[in-house]
Amino acid sequence: MSGHKDRVYLSPPHMNAREREFLLDAFDSNWIAPIGPDLNAFEQEVAAKVGVAHSAGLASGTAAIHLALQLLGVGSGDEVLVSSFTFAASVNPVCYLGATPVLLDSERGTWNLDPNVLETVLQNKAQKGTLPKALVVVDLYGQAADYDAIVPLCQRYGVPIVEDAAEALGATFQGKHAGSFGDMGVFSFNGNKIITTSGGGMLVSDNETWITRARHLATQAREPAAHYEHVDVGYNYRLSNLLAALGRGQLEDLDAKVDKKRAIFAAYKEALGHIDGIEFMPQDPRGRSNCWLTCLTVDPSITGVDREVLRLGLEDENIESRPLWKPMHLQSVFSKAPYFGGQVAEQLFETGLCLPSGTSLKDEDFQRTVGVLRTLLRDT
Ligand SMILES: *Cc1c(COP(=O)(O)O)cnc(C)c1O
């Protein structure tokens, strides 16, 4: 046990001097909340970075998914297809709207939604005349899904795409930014994401009508009347100006953060990639992942130790690591949701581990993490 050693976190917030300046400027100008010049600027800056025309700053990525699905008319009795291998926030908003999530397996090549499973499900549902209202596709751990296959498939069947790029800001696929492949795209600025506003999210789209309506719904659906006239049920989902100011500072460093995360992935692979039974998350050569978290799988029949031995061994040294997402079709809360696919996501969950990948990770902490893993894996 080495409780005296500083804890190494998975992906902690990483602030620089500019964030402090932006934040204090917003503070001193008294543009605290709800809206203000930094929110407008942050929306424009994110949209410009990602290459989409419009964006709405929101309180969370979850709120962005909720509004996106509502804008697509998802409601009670509808089905929405969702990647099963993800965080629960991709699926929960489907349930807020009274619709049924239909969960789909991943492919081994990217760990993202398997386009073959998607095709089979769309074909079958089209034959029965029960096409889903939307697809929520996740760009997992900062790597874009296979949009060369997914976009034409969804176009063929007229199913709109909500791209959950919560983890993938700054990643690209075929030279285009993650978040720009869906009819709407979603980002999160939660504390563990590649850039953070402490909490926050954004909905992006080329469709101005949707984004204008998202802003309206996010501000309690107040009609422009002094006495507060209401036609729709709204939400309190707007990002505060103070937090948007923080986000502007973070965004200035996004490219550097992507480079740093990619360097961390490369360094782990260099240090551990030669060990039999250890595989790193495959990198699709058509894209450039932001490597939000460095993830690997361990085959205990080769290494003699399973993922939990590695995780608990790291924990003993005060180093945080986590299993890969537990697939949504294995969660009791979604046990009634239909599932299509095989055991890809399930096996990844059983064997996979996310390693400390913060952009502020110190070399000594990286070396310490690698050292613990090499000892546990008897790589001497
Ligand atoms: C973080 C995350 C979300 C939710 O974003 P919040 O801002 O925390 O609400 C949604 N989907 C995925 C895949 C995420 O990782």
Instruction: Express each pLDDT in 79-125 by its tens digit.
Output: 999 999 999 999 999 999 999 999 999 999 999 999 999 999 999 99
Cβ distance 343 to 330 under 8 Å? no
Number of other CB atoms surrounding residue 188 within 10 Å: 30
Residue with tokens 């949504």: 328
Q: Which of 167, 235, 326, 354 to mutate to test the pocket of ligand 1 (most atoms within 8 A of CB)?
A: 167
Q: What is the Å distance from ligand 1's center to 209 Cα? A: 24
Distance 313 CA to ligand 1 centre (A): 28
Identify the residue whose tokens are 């990198």: 283
Query: Which pLDDT belongs to residue 190?
Result: 97
The dihedral sign for the CA sequence 158, 180, 334, 235: negative
The pLDDT tens digits of the residues spanning 6-24 come to 999 999 999 999 999 999 9
Q: Which atom of ligand 1 is nearest to the CA of 86?
A: 13
Cα of 138 from ligand 1 centre, angstroms: 10
Distance between Cα 285 and ligand 1 center (Å) = 25
Q: Which amino acid makes up residue 10? A: L
For residue 29, the tally of other CB atoms under 10 A from its CB is 13
| Upstream peptide bond of 115 is cis (omega within 30 degrees of 0) | no
Q: Which of 68, 111, 53, 119 is nearest to 289 (CA)?
A: 111
Nearest CA to ligand 1 atom 8: 190
Q: How far apart are CA 136 and CA 86, in angstroms?
A: 11
- How far is 147 from 304, CA to CA, in rounded Å? 37
User: How would you classify residue 30: left for phi > 0, otherwise alpha for psi between -120 and 50, otherwise beta?
Assistant: left
Which residue has the CA at smallest separation from atom 2 of ligand 1? 166
Question: Considering the entire predicted model, what is its pTM?
Answer: 0.97
Structure confidence at residue 57 (pLDDT): 98
What is the structure's pLDDT at 32?
81
- The tens digit of pLDDT for each residue in 178-219 reads 999 999 999 999 999 999 999 999 999 999 999 999 999 999
CA of 65 from ligand 1 middle (Å) equals 9
Residue 5 pLDDT: 78
Which of 181, 206, 53, 63 is CA-nearest to residue 113? Answer: 181
What is the β-pairing status of strands 79-83 and 100-104?
parallel
| 199 CA closest ligand 1 atom index | 7
Q: DSSP for 271-328?
A: HHTTSTTEEEPP--TTEE---SSEEEEE-HHHHS--HHHHHHHHHHTTB--EEPPPPG
- Residues of the chain below pLDDT 70: 1-4
Please provide residue 79's backbone torsions phi and psi, each rounded to the nearest 5 degrees: -110, 145
* DSSP tag of 132: -
Interatomic CA distance for residues 360 and 11, integer angstroms: 9
Contact 201, 187 (CB under 8 A): yes
With a Cβ cut-off of 6 Å, ligand 1 is lined by 60-62, 86-87, 89-90, 138, 164, 166-167, 188, 190, 201
Do residues 47 and 109 make contact, with C-beta atoms less than 8 angstroms apart?
A: no
Pairing outcome for strands 229-230 and 339-340? unpaired
| 28: three-class secondary structure by DSSP | helix
Looking at residue 4, its pLDDT comes to 63
Taking residue 182's Cβ as centre, other Cβ atoms within 10 Å add up to: 28
Distance in angstroms (rounded) separating the CA atoms of residues 159 and 137: 12
Angle in degrees, 0-180, between the axes of helices 147-157 and 115-128, rounded to the nearest 10: 10
